[in-house]
Structure 1
Amino acid sequence: MDKGYRLSAATGLHKGDRDYQQDQVALLTHARASGCVLGVIADGMGGRTGGRKAADQVLLTARQLFERYDPDADDGAALLRQIAQEAHLVIKLTAIAAEQEPHSTIALFLVNPGGECFWLHAGDSRIHQFRGAQLVRRTTDHSYVQQLVAQGQLTEEEANDHPQSNVLTSCLGTEPEPNFTSQHIASLQIGDTLLSCSDGLWHYFSIEELGSVVQALSPREASELLVEKARERAGGGGDNLSLVIVKVEPPVETKPQRRSTLVPLN
């Protein structure tokens, strides 16, 4: 982006109707580089303590490596891959030591000063890029039902309600090495929104609904509404849920008046 911009952001976390929280979320701001942020979603699996420990490890590794990151000299894609690989290794070692089966999804996005953006994910925690209310791109789940969708055996809607929709083909902590999928965006634009979330949230919304909400509302308002509606739609059977929203906006002094329409969430 050539012209000035500002980032507004929010996170959300709720344990849903589960007895314990295994999701973790963070939005980290760089201590030395203004406009550099790292979003992290980790959806842990593996019993009451195993999943939470795995998700905690993802956040710990992300914080440690992001602190040492220099956006002027270091490769953003390499940073995300290092976070994922190191977290995966430690989670595997934890499993050996504790005789547990801790696993975690991972969804990372890095915004550099100037608007360059990198993504990386493994599992079914998603990252979306919206321009206004329109989806530009999103991650593709590493899951059994996503493979069926790719083969034309299921629609996206059918996959959402499939009894094996929670079966992953890649995540952190597994014996086979995870499959990490990366994305590079040369420059985000004013009006873009990044939304990353676990399946406990995206399961309850269409892409059109998500786009409408992030366009019409501030990140904080959007986060609160999405959590509230996900809880309502879960009907007492909701999973842990987590989300992080980062919105690219004009500088405060030049922000234009904008009309937007929020699609009603019934």
Structure 2
Amino acid sequence: MPKSAASQPLFLYSTTVSDVGTVRANNQDSSFAGEHLIAMCDGMGGHAGGDTASSIAIRSLAHIEQDDTGGNVETISRMMETSVMAAHDAIVGKAKRERKLAGMGTTVTAVALVAGYWVIAHIGDSRAYLLRDGRLSRITCDHSYVQHLINTGRITPSEAKNHPQRNVVMRVLGDFDIDPRPDISVRRAHPADRWLLCSDGLCGVLEDSTIEETMTTLSDQGECAQRLVQMALRAGSTDNVTAVIADATLALDADAFDLPHQTPLVGGAASRNLEPIADIVNEPVATAPALREDDSPAQRAAALIQPASAHEAETAQTTAKPSSTRVVQPSTVREETGERANPDTGEIPVVQKPDGRLSADPNDPDVAKAIRDEQVEQKKATRTKKRRNKLAVIITCILAVLALAGAGWGAYTWSQTHYYVGDSNGTVAIYRGVPTNLFGLELSHEVQTTNIATADLPQTWRDQLSQGITVGSLDEAQSHVGIIRTEMRKLAKQQEADAAKKAEASNSPDSSKDSSQSDSKDSTEDSSSQSGSSSDKSGSSSSSDSSDKSGIGAADNAATGDSQ
């Protein structure tokens, strides 16, 4: 692999356009267009995570724009891979510390120009196209499920466009259990090479032939990027749409001839916070041009979208199309104007070098040491937090046990100020406490027994004793037992009196006489009844005989008359 500068120095002019699209409420794409580096990152993971992940990836790569490597291609290749892996670690670390960001991730497609060579880093399903000599070539291979099906011959590229799992990505950076290492490749650069880096919101709806025609016919970078994004929206893209266009041209020594340099442009989610990127590249950076309104149905539909949450509302405000480009100076300039000098690079430490320059390059020994120190501190903080959480749980459990014990003791102490009369194995007894239990602990005990059998008591009394007759003191309990005993005696005397009356009534003479008279009267009545019955029977028989005889005689007389 070459390590010396190319004989023909090339210069990179680039631009980028990123739009939220017609469906999404916030833009999760991030892009960078500089003189030595172009990059495109498509974030994912919901409204709270995709924009954060893509912004972290752009910040992790931005240092390549200004790093002086002496034209060493191998060094840049290692830096590209290390920077992508550093972005992965930063995304995972942030997701672990902020659970609302769990599951966030991003694709990365980046191209660096160094010593006449292109160094390409790629992971995910964003794409890099190279237009050379009027012919468009797809340089990257999608790390997606449908691309795997295409590679294995199971579906065709045309079928992949409508496949139900066309959005499933198999390799990305982020909070996923997948391989985060990017594909690194090197190509020799040619004058007039034109690059397109785009999200799947663009290449997913436009045919390669359409992209090739547009990139060939529109020589102006800005017009080309605007047209591609507008065409994707008109074609019905439902995702964020981002395009980065970069041209390689033969360049004179811009510093020697005092020619103006291109200000790096930042698009999409990363443009919401330019200060960290300005400090990393140590030069001014600007927001990318907004998509020009074309009054198409897609644009009118996008205007009707309303944010559905507070986060979306905040994001929508920050992603609204700006009326003018915003330029941010590096911290050395901002300090002079009194602006904030300490940037937030999204978990990537920024180190100030001895010459005053700020660096966020993971390959910089000072930055690498800062990363290791942060990791050590984070591990210490995690262990301390775990110990504190464990101690808090133990203390909470102890306090809960003490509270329960205190409540139990209080309940028991209160119960011992009460008494009740109840049933103890078939006899009436006095108890101290209340007739219940607390978590299996009986709140009463027997203090005095009696010889009163509960079986001798009326049923209503037995029911009351089974539930316990609560009183305020031992004296009241004893008094209540005395009442029961007195009532028992009264009941016994009443029963004895009733029994005596019954016995006396059964042994009285008047009672015997009345009984004899009653028996005699009953006997006389029975005899009279029998006599009457006999008389009735005799009369009936005589009448019957006479009647029979008369009948028989009449019948004979009638027979004689007929004979005569």
The 5-angstrom pairing of residues 207-222 of structure 1 reads 207-217=208-218, 218-222=220-224
The 5-angstrom pairing of residues 40-119 of structure 1 reads 40-64=39-63, 66-73=65-72, 75-99=75-99, 100-113=102-115, 115-119=116-120
**Corresponding residue for residue 333 of structure 2:** none
How much has 1:71 moved relative to structure 2?
Answer: 4.2
> Aligned pair in 2 of structure 1 residues 4, 62: CA closer, same or farther (>3 Å)?
closer
The 5-angstrom pairing of residues 117-132 of structure 1 reads 117-132=118-133
SS of residue paired to 1:226: helix
Q: Is the 8 A contact 1:143 1:168 kept in 2?
A: yes
**Corresponding residue for residue 256 of structure 1:** none
The 5-angstrom pairing of residues 1-266 of structure 1 reads 2-3=7-8, 6-17=11-22, 18-29=24-35, 37-64=36-63, 66-73=65-72, 75-99=75-99, 100-113=102-115, 115-173=116-174, 174-185=176-187, 187-217=188-218, 218-234=220-236, 238-249=238-249
Output the amino acid matched with 2:182. Answer: F
Q: Which has the higher helix share?
A: 2
SS of residue paired to 2:242: strand
Output the amino acid matched with 2:195. Answer: L
CA distance in 1, matches of 2:118, 2:10: 15
SS of residue paired to 2:201: helix
> Aligned pair in 2 of structure 1 residues 136, 208: CA closer, same or farther (>3 Å)?
same
Q: In terms of Rg, which structure is larger?
A: 2
Please give the root-mean-square deviation of Cα atoms over the aligned residues, in Å: 2.0
How much has 1:191 moved relative to structure 2?
Answer: 2.8
SS of residue paired to 2:169: coil
Q: Is the 8 A contact 1:28 1:63 kept in 2?
A: no
**Corresponding residue for residue 255 of structure 1:** none
**Corresponding residue for residue 554 of structure 2:** none
Q: Which has the higher strand share?
A: 1
CA distance in 2, matches of 1:54, 1:189: 33
**Corresponding residue for residue 335 of structure 2:** none
SS of residue paired to 2:173: coil
Output the amino acid matched with 1:14. Answer: D
SS of residue paired to 2:48: helix
Which ranges in structure 1 are unaligned for 5 or more consecutive residues? Answer: 30-36, 253-266
> Aligned pair in 2 of structure 1 residues 20, 71: CA closer, same or farther (>3 Å)?
farther
Q: Is the 8 A contact 2:16 2:33 kept in 1?
A: yes
Q: Is the 8 A contact 1:46 1:103 kept in 2?
A: yes
How much has 1:177 moved relative to structure 2?
Answer: 2.7
1:88-141, Cα deviation, whole Å (9 max, x unpaired): 00101111111121100011110114x211101111011111113312442010
Q: Is the 8 A contact 1:126 1:141 kept in 2?
A: yes
**Corresponding residue for residue 496 of structure 2:** none
CA distance in 2, matches of 1:27, 1:5: 16
Output the amino acid matched with 1:9. Answer: S
CA distance in 2, matches of 1:55, 1:131: 29
TM-score (norm 2): 0.41
> Aligned pair in 2 of structure 1 residues 111, 84: CA closer, same or farther (>3 Å)?
same
Q: Which moved more, 1:189-198 or 1:174-183?
A: 174-183
How much has 1:251 moved relative to structure 2?
Answer: 6.0
Q: Which moved more, 1:1-10 or 1:60-69?
A: 1-10
SS of residue paired to 1:75: helix
CA distance in 2, matches of 1:69, 1:94: 30
CA distance in 2, matches of 1:71, 1:219: 29
1:213-237, Cα deviation, whole Å (9 max, x unpaired): 1122121111010011111111xx5
1:5-53, Cα deviation, whole Å (9 max, x unpaired): 5533211100102101100001133xxxxxxx11111111111121111
CA distance in 2, matches of 1:69, 1:250: 20
Q: Is the 8 A contact 1:133 1:208 kept in 2?
A: no
Output the amino acid matched with 2:84. Answer: A
How much has 1:243 moved relative to structure 2?
Answer: 1.5
CA distance in 2, matches of 1:128, 1:3: 23
CA distance in 1, matches of 2:209, 2:134: 7
How much has 1:2 moved relative to structure 2?
Answer: 4.4
Q: Is the 8 A contact 1:10 1:244 kept in 2?
A: yes
Q: Is the 8 A contact 2:170 2:178 kept in 1?
A: no
Output the amino acid matched with 1:106. Answer: V
Q: Is the 8 A contact 2:125 2:169 kept in 1?
A: yes
CA distance in 2, matches of 1:76, 1:179: 16
